[in-house]
Structure 1
């Protein structure tokens, strides 16, 4: 979509970064510390896009982490 990054001097079609929504995470009860952890996972994968071992490791960490934050009405 074309949602702007706050204070980004560049245009929406040529942003300087990514904007990530958090409603799905806050609905599961996550707070700032969990958001930081999610951000670290994103950074790790974006920094190592061809490293299958790193991606698998992050995938496993996320699967384990998500068990502590069930989706309301589903889990």
Structure 2
């Protein structure tokens, strides 16, 4: 789900069991802010399927049982 407000742009994962979201704050709203927000999400692994957004832990090619709602966000050692 996408929400564009005066000072924030937020995308929430549309997978029913997932609470992941991405939030970008800005000083004032502009058309470019939302576009930059969604470009950054795509670079981070978020996918857009027919207007529904999914975080990297919820790949659209797998059943919900195969999703990793918390593991995608755990820091790993290099």
Q: Structure 2 length normalisation: TM-score?
A: 0.30
Q: Structure 1 length normalisation: TM-score?
A: 0.31
- Bigger radius of gyration: 1
Of Structure 1 and Structure 2, the greater helix share is in 1
Of Structure 1 and Structure 2, the greater strand share is in 2
